[in-house]
């Protein structure tokens, strides 16, 4: 038998053929695994299948990350006893890094690496340091709002100032009283905004660049010169938020008329208010707006609301004026009231009633007008989770900082199943007793047949 015949005979053997097939399948399997890993690394995708998207970052945070143009290093300082907290933070930071390659992070155990901890002035475990260039920010919380807020602070090259006008018994930002705006100040500062009081008599002018002016329910009228200062600021493209309750003097009436709007002397009542008080209407359905687009279905609660009417059938030319807040269909605008008594009449306007507008002028000014201030006070921010993001979004929209328009991080939902005693018994006897007994009887039957 020649050499070639022996080779052909060997290759024709069944064992050799099976061995060759097995080798080919093994090589193919390895190739598929290598290719799958390469694709997984290059096209990394994660899916959050929880109902509330509890493990996903918000769209607003993604917008912020997508605008980053400089590296941000995040260093978490945890020891071995904080492994669970470190794992939670790492899981969240993976979401951030998946959106932006500018994000990098690492963890340091201060006990094992005291040099790094000392260089970063770390004195407590659980501290997280954010660094970008010369800017540095430290946090101790690991919620999305904490992380995103720190990223904003180290990435911002300029800060927007929010001025709250003073001198006319407005709501103040320096008090923790239920009627004050101290909590709002903290919220805005967490968004990397500077918050300061502004006395127009002393200043005589308003800086135009990177500013927002808030006039929060003045109880005394502004002087003509002060109104002129605000009007000049708006005419130059300024950003203005105007809030006024029922029973308060109608502020900036001349400017309101210029925008085609007027303060109505009425009080919104809603007998189906979610807080059980007709003078505290809640809003669940919002006209479409960048301010409220992510708040649909979340109740924001107001108090002592006055409606805003329109002058004429059309708004001024070249102005963009949109409804922002409407009361429910169950509401009425009472016109006969005083500090202690309210009486509805057949002639009162029926809901839905508009008490909030957004305005964009030809000069690119942005204005928010709302017939209430209580929704932003310390007391009402605790009534519902939607009030805080609503006010923050108003400021962000006015400042043309759409990336700051935010909603609360989804809270984990406590899902429980409540059963009656009979339902619990059915589950117990069917699952705990019935199924094991079924398997046991089946086994006995099979054994008996094979005897």
Looking up tokens 């400089």 gives 70
**Residue range 197-203: mean pLDDT, rounded:** 95
Lowest mean pLDDT among 267-271, 326-330, 374-378, 445-449: 445-449
pTM (2 d.p.): 0.67
Lowest mean pLDDT among 25-29, 73-77, 90-94, 285-289: 25-29
Is 165's pLDDT higher than 90?
yes
State residue 294's pLDDT score. Answer: 79
Mean pLDDT across the chain: 85
Determine how many CB atoms are found less than 10 A away from the CB of residue 215. Answer: 27
State residue 52's pLDDT score. Answer: 56
State residue 394's pLDDT score. Answer: 95
Looking up tokens 């707006």 gives 289
**Residue range 269-298: mean pLDDT, rounded:** 85
- Cα–Cα distance between 343 and 337 in angstroms, integer? 6
Confidence band of 443 (pLDDT split at 50, 70, 90)? confident
List pLDDT tens digits, range 215-239: 999 999 999 999 999 999 999 999 9
Strand runs (DSSP E) across 109-210, as ranges?
Answer: 127-132, 135-139, 161-166, 194-199
Angle between the N-to-C axes of helices 83-99 and 59-66, in degrees from 0 to 180, rounded to the nearest 10: 60
Say if residue 85 is exposed, middle or buried (CB neighbours under 10 Å; 0-12, 13-18, 19+): middle
List pLDDT tens digits, range 295-334: 888 899 999 999 999 987 788 888 999 999 999 998 999 9
**Residue range 171-183: mean pLDDT, rounded:** 93
State residue 407's pLDDT score. Answer: 44
Element (H, E) at 73: strand 72-77
State residue 403's pLDDT score. Answer: 60
State residue 296's pLDDT score. Answer: 81
User: Does residue 238 or residue 190 have the better pLDDT?
Assistant: 238
Confidence band of 44 (pLDDT split at 50, 70, 90)? low
Is 12's pLDDT higher than 70?
no
List pLDDT tens digits, range 50-66: 655 566 788 888 888 99
């Amino acid at each position: 038998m020649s050499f070639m015949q022996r080779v052909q005979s060997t290759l024709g053997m069944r064992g050799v053929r099976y061995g060759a097939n097995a080798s080919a399948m093994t090589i193919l399997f390895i190739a598929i695994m290598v290719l799958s890993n390469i694709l997984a690394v290059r096209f990394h995708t994660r899916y959050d299948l929880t109902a509330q998207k509890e493990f996903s970052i918000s769209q607003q945070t993604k917008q912020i990350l997508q605008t980053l143009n400089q590296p941000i290093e995040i260093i978490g300082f945890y020891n071995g006893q904080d492994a669970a907290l470190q794992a939670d933070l790492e899981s969240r930071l993976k979401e951030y890094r998946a959106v932006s390659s500018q994000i990098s992070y690492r963890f340091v155990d201060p006990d094992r690496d005291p040099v790094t901890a000392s260089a970063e002035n770390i004195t407590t475990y659980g501290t997280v340091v954010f660094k970008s260039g010369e800017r540095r920010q430290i946090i101790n919380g690991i919620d999305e709002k904490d992380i995103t807020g720190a990223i904003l602070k180290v990435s911002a090259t300029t800060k927007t100032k929010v001025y709250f006008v003073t001198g006319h018994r407005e709501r103040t930002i320096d008090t923790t009283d239920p009627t004050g705006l101290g909590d709002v100040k903290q919220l805005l500062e967490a968004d990397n905004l500077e918050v300061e009081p502004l006395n127009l008599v002393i200043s005589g002018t308003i800086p135009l660049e990177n500013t927002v002016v808030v006039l929060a329910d003045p109880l005394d009228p502004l002087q003509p010169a002060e109104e002129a200062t605000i009007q000049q600021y708006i005419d130059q493209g300024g950003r203005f938020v105007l809030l006024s309750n029922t029973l308060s003097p109608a502020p900036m009436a001349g400017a309101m008329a210029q925008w085609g709007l007027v303060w109505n002397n009425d009080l919104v009542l809603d007998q189906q208010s979610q807080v059980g008080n007709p003078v505290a209407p809640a809003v669940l359905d919002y006209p479409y707006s960048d301010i409220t687009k992510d708040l649909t279905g979340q109740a924001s609660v107001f108090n002592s609301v006055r409606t805003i009417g329109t002058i004429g059938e059309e708004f001024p030319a070249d102005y963009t004026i949109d409804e922002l807040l409407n009361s429910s269909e169950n509401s009425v605008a009472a016109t006969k009231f005083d500090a202690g008594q309210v009486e509805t009449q057949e002639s009162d306007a029926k809901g839905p009633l508009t008490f909030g507008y957004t305005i964009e002028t030809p000069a690119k000014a942005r204005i928010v007008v709302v017939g209430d201030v209580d929704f932003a006070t310390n007391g009402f921010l605790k009534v519902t989770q939607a009030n805080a993001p609503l006010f923050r979004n108003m400021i962000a929209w006015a400042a043309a900082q759409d990336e700051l328009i935010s909603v609360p991080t989804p809270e984990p939902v406590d899902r429980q199943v409540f059963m009656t005693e009979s339902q619990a018994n059915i589950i117990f006897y069917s699952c705990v007793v019935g199924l094991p007994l079924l398997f046991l009887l089946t086994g006995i039957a099979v054994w008996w047949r094979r005897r």
